[in-house]
A and B are shown apart, each in its own frame.
Chain A
Amino acid sequence: MGRRQSVGDISYGLVIGTLALLAVTIIVAPVIIVLLTSFTNGQAIKFPPQGLSLRWYEQLFDASKSGQIHKTAGNSLIIAAWSTGIGVVLGTMATLGLARNRARLARVADGFFMSPLVLPGMTFGLAALVYFSLLGFRPSINLMIAGHLIVTMPFILRTTSASLSQLDPALLDSSQSLGASWFYTLRRVTLPLIAPGIAAGAFLAFMASIDNVPVSLFLSNARTDTLPIRMWGMMESTLDVRVAAVSGVLITAAFLLMLVMEWTVGITRRMRD
């Protein structure tokens, strides 16, 4: 560009550049700092860490010392797997049913299914607790799965319906005009083509379930506690250094999962669009 750099343009570059740099720092730095802190040899959470060691990871993976943490992590995985599994089946069916429906009721239903995204989680968590208690249910893994199913549904619906709307309708028409049944077309044409969208949604829903606090807070008891609730307890009482080690494990797991999902279904592209 031959245009002369004016004072305004230079100030633009400076201000926008500095703020953007601050944003990246604020996003990334805490994550790296926690990773470094988890390798401390000291008794307290300090930065810089007091000598490097794997002692807190050793304690974390020792079943006799950290059995409770292992159990809550197991609960988290079971709840996330079931709620995502059921969610994918119900969510995909609903998306297929509503995608080409222009009726007003279909739009309302769509908004209704997406509303857990903005409804305060604490409100739904309490509502679920009151509802299940008054119906006479005791806290159990099943109730947690039911609660997580609702709050993670928007993630499944969003990516699934996005990939379905990009599907060329001509493909479905030609499949049908060649004599394929509705179900055959679904099985051999539609589902394979929207599978990456479903997978991306399932991944996001799974992670949202693992991460969920408001619903688990109200629906869990000592037996069905999930990992985030347990970590919250550890942070509120004594600042147990094992929290740093758990964080280290979760950061590594999220990073690896993210890489896998990026290579297989292009997760970042789906979240951006």
Chain B
Amino acid sequence: MRSKLAEWQLALPLGLAFAALFLAPLLLLVGVSFYNDEKITQLGVGSWSGFFGDAFNYKVIVDTLLLGLKTICTTVVIGYPLALVYMDLSPRLQKVLIFVIVMPLLLSVVVRTFAWIVVLGREGVVNSVLLGLGIISEPLKLLQTELGLVISLTQIEMPLMLLPLISVMSRVDPNLRDASAALGASRWRTLFTVILPLSMPGLVAGCLLVFASSTTAFISQTVIGGVRLIYLPLVIWQQALVVYHWPLAAVASLSLMISVMTVIAALSWIGRRSGGYVNG
């Protein structure tokens, strides 16, 4: 039998790969952001002060974070009820529903984004149905609006919300719900005082994944949002591959990382606190 030290060494190759291909690039990116010029010769904080000296960039950061929060809201509002319904289904129907939920996750984001162009476009499904019913006389402009983008991201990110939610909810003892009903609580009250607090870890995990994914969803943001809606990933892409100003691109991408990580830390803090409340 091997000693503990030898077993631990099995993780070394992956550790080295992550150090060389993940940690080192990220550290280098931080280094590059402290250069003033695009040739990367002159050390300084010029790129940081330049980026944050421009009021436009604040708006882009705020818009990016708001986009993530709006997507969280829509996925929770329709995803949570679907998870509740899932709990009441027979095992057979549960299998079908989980298949339906997981399936889009395995479908390329590009395909899902394209699907929403077909649905929301000028000659798309929504417009032809509404025009056909005579509800509107002019096609609605849904693409290149934030509304269209949030609707699309709701579908694109939905599996990330539902999987952790369903996973946690399946572990909630069904007797608790029955006990709550037997003691006279309405179904609304049972939802808010029993099920919601117990499913909080899943809800928070889902929110984290949805937020992280929707704020960095470059393809959906550029294709559905168009050129007038500008989010941080587009700024990073432009600075890195169009303007070739890597220090500025580094500042933009580190700003994305720091702001996203801050919101994620805040969300998990809320999650831990509410978890403590339930257990205490």
- Chain A interfacial positions (CB closer than 8 Å to B): 1, 3, 6, 8-9, 11-13, 15-17, 19-20, 22-24, 26-31, 33-34, 37, 44-48, 90-91, 93-94, 96-98, 100-101, 103, 106, 109, 112-113, 116-124, 126-132, 134, 146-147, 149-150, 153, 176, 182, 207, 210-211, 213-214, 217-218, 227-228, 231-232, 235-236, 239, 243-244, 246-247, 250-251, 254-255, 257-258, 262, 267-268, 271-273
Q: Is there contact, CB below 8 Å, between B29 and A130?
A: yes
Find chain B residues with CB under 8 A from A228 CB.
Answer: 108-110, 219
Q: Is there contact, CB below 8 Å, between B18 and A117?
A: no
Within the complex, what minimum Cβ distance (angstroms) separates B43 from chain A? 15
Find chain B residues with CB under 8 A from A267 CB.
Answer: 102
Q: Is there contact, CB below 8 Å, between B106 and A93?
A: no
Within the complex, what minimum Cβ distance (angstroms) separates A140 from chain B? 14
Q: Is there contact, CB below 8 Å, between B22 and A30?
A: no
Complexed CA–CA distance, A268 and B188 (Å): 30
Find chain A residues with CB under 8 A from B109 CB.
Answer: 211, 213, 228
Q: Is there contact, CB below 8 Å, between B11 and A31?
A: no
Find chain A residues with CB under 8 A from B7 CB.
Answer: 96-97, 100-101
Which residue of chain A is the closest to B259 with respect to CB atoms?
A: A120
Q: Is there contact, CB below 8 Å, between B106 and A244?
A: no
Number of B residues with CB within 8 Å of any CB on chain A: 98
Within the complex, what minimum Cβ distance (angstroms) separates B32 from chain A? 6
Q: Is there contact, CB below 8 Å, between B237 and A123?
A: no
A-contact bits for B94-106, CB 8 A (1 contact / 0 none): 0101111111101
Which residue of chain B is the closest to A266 with respect to CB atoms?
A: B95
Q: Is there contact, CB below 8 Å, between B11 and A239?
A: no
Complexed CA–CA distance, A255 and B1 (Å): 45
A16 with B85, Cβ < 8 A, contacts A27-B155, A126-B249 known: yes
- Chain B interfacial positions (CB closer than 8 Å to A): 1-2, 4, 7-15, 17-18, 21-22, 24-26, 28-29, 32, 40, 77-82, 84-85, 95, 97-104, 106-119, 121, 123-125, 128, 151, 154-155, 158-159, 163, 166-167, 170, 181, 186-188, 191, 208-209, 212, 215-216, 218-219, 222-223, 232-233, 236-237, 240-241, 246, 249-250, 253-254, 256-257, 260-261, 264
A117 with B209, Cβ < 8 A, contacts A19-B78, A109-B11, A258-B102 known: yes
Which residue of chain B is the closest to A272 with respect to CB atoms?
A: B167
Q: Is there contact, CB below 8 Å, between B1 and A268?
A: no
Dominant SS among interface residues on chain B = helix
Complexed CA–CA distance, A132 and B208 (Å): 30
Q: Is there contact, CB below 8 Å, between B110 and A120?
A: no
Which residue of chain B is the closest to A17 with respect to CB atoms?
A: B85
Complexed CA–CA distance, A123 and B253 (Å): 5
Q: Is there contact, CB below 8 Å, between B223 and A232?
A: yes
Which residue of chain B is the closest to A204 with respect to CB atoms?
A: B106
Which residue of chain A is the closest to B168 with respect to CB atoms?
A: A272
Give 5 CB contacts A-B under 8 Å: A1-B181, A93-B14, A116-B22, A130-B29, A251-B111
Complexed CA–CA distance, A37 and B21 (Å): 41
Q: Is there contact, CB below 8 Å, between B10 and A31?
A: no
Q: Is there contact, CB below 8 Å, between A47 and B124?
A: yes
Within the complex, what minimum Cβ distance (angstroms) separates B79 from chain A? 6
A16 with B110, Cβ < 8 A, contacts A122-B253, A131-B25 known: no
A120 with B215, Cβ < 8 A, contacts A129-B240, A207-B106, A272-B98 known: yes
Q: Is there contact, CB below 8 Å, between B117 and A120?
A: no
Complexed CA–CA distance, A6 and B185 (Å): 11
Find chain A residues with CB under 8 A from B163 CB.
Answer: 271-272
Find chain B residues with CB under 8 A from A262 CB.
Answer: 99
Find chain B residues with CB under 8 A from A127 CB.
Answer: 25-26, 28-29, 253
Find chain B residues with CB under 8 A from A8 CB.
Answer: 186-188
Complexed CA–CA distance, A96 and B4 (Å): 11
Q: Is there contact, CB below 8 Å, between A231 and B82?
A: no
Complexed CA–CA distance, A254 and B110 (Å): 14
Q: Is there contact, CB below 8 Å, between B82 and A24?
A: yes
Find chain B residues with CB under 8 A from A243 CB.
Answer: 114
Q: Is there contact, CB below 8 Å, between B11 and A94?
A: yes
Besides the contacts A96-B7, A124-B26, what 16 more A-B pairs have beta carbons closer than 8 Å?
A: A23-B79, A23-B158, A27-B158, A28-B100, A30-B155, A31-B112, A34-B115, A122-B233, A126-B240, A207-B106, A214-B218, A231-B111, A236-B223, A255-B103, A258-B99, A271-B163
Find chain B residues with CB under 8 A from A258 CB.
Answer: 99, 102-103, 106
B155's partner among A26, A146, A214, A268 (CB-CB below 8 A) is: A26
Q: Is there contact, CB below 8 Å, between B102 and A98?
A: no
A16's partner among B84, B159, B209 (CB-CB below 8 A) is: B84
Which residue of chain A is the closest to B165 with respect to CB atoms?
A: A272
